[in-house]
Amino acid sequence: MSRIFSYSLTQVRDGLRSGEISAQDATRSCLERIATTEPKLDALLHVAAEEALSQAAAMDKNGPDASKPLWGVPVIIKDVLATCGMPTTCGSKILENFTPVYDAHCVTRLKEAGAIILAKANMDEFAMGSSTENSAFKVTKNPWDTTRVPGGSSGGSAASVAAGQCFASIGTDTGGSIRQPASFCGIVGVKPSYGRVSRRGLVAYGSSLDQAGPMTRNVADAAEILQVIAGHDPKDSTSVNVPVPNYLDALKRCGSLKGLRLGLPKQYWGEGLSAEVDEACRQAVELAEALGAQIVPVSLPHTEYAIATYYILAMAEASSNLARFDGVRYGRRSSQTQDLATMYTRSRSEGFGEEVMRRIMLGTYVLSAGYYDAYYKKAAQVRRLIRQDFLDALFSCDLICGPACPTTAFAIGENTADPLQMYLTDIFTISLNLSGLPGLSLPVGLGQDTGMPVGLQLFAGNMEEEKLLCAAQTLEAHLPKLPETPFA
Partner 1 sequence: MSMKISPEKALAIATLARLEISPEQAASLSAQMDDILGYMDKLNELDTADVEPMYTPVDQPGFLRLDEVTKDLSRADILRNAPESDGEYFIVPRIV
435 is catalytic: no
Helices within 371-429 (DSSP H only): 378-396, 419-424
Stretch binding partner 1 (CB under 8 A), from 72-80, 178-186, 274-282, 307-315: 307-315
Q: Minimum distance from CB of 436 to partner 1 (Å)?
A: 2
Q: At what angle do helices 306-321 and 354-367 cross, to 10 degrees?
A: 100
Stretch binding partner 1 (CB under 8 A), from 47-55, 247-255, 321-329, 439-447: 321-329
153 is catalytic: yes
User: Which one of 24, 435, 473, 474 is in contact with partner 1 (CB under 8 A)?
Assistant: 435
What is the residue type of 3? R
To the nearest 10°, report the CA torsion of 79, 365, 317, 410: -50
What is the residue type of 89? T
Closest CB to partner 1 among 108 and 473?
Answer: 108
Asked if 193 and 463 count as a contact pair (C-beta separation under 8 A), the reply is yes
Residue 487 found at the interface with partner 1 (CB under 8 A): no
Task: Tell which positions 120-179 bind partner 1, by CB under 8 A.
Answer: none
Asked if 348 and 323 count as a contact pair (C-beta separation under 8 A), the reply is no
Which of 22, 29, 153, 157 does the annotation list as catalytic?
153
Distance CA 467, CA 105 (A): 25
Task: Tell which positions 96-115 bind partner 1, by CB under 8 A.
Answer: 97-102
Closest CB to partner 1 among 195 and 453?
Answer: 195
Q: How many Å from the N-terminal Cα to the C-terminal Cα in the chain?
A: 15
User: Which one of 41, 118, 382, 401 is in contact with partner 1 (CB under 8 A)?
Assistant: 382
Distance CA 76, CA 79 (A): 9
Which of 157, 177, 239, 347 does the annotation list as catalytic?
177
User: Which one of 155, 189, 327, 453 is in contact with partner 1 (CB under 8 A)?
Assistant: 327
183 is catalytic: no
Residue 448 found at the interface with partner 1 (CB under 8 A): no
Distance CA 343, CA 328 (A): 9
Stretch binding partner 1 (CB under 8 A), from 30-38, 64-72, 93-101, 180-188: 93-101
Which of 29, 68, 78, 347 does the annotation list as catalytic?
78
Task: Tell which positions 206-245 bind partner 1, by CB under 8 A.
Answer: 208, 234-235, 237-238, 240-241
CA–CA distance from 226 to each of 242, 290, 413 (Å)?
A: 15, 29, 34
Residue 311 found at the interface with partner 1 (CB under 8 A): yes
Distance CA 233, CA 324 (A): 23
Closest CB to partner 1 among 66 and 101?
Answer: 101
Pairing of strands 116-121, 453-459: unpaired
User: Which one of 252, 324, 377, 478 is in contact with partner 1 (CB under 8 A)?
Assistant: 377
What is the residue type of 323? A
Q: Which residues are catalytic?
A: 78, 153, 177
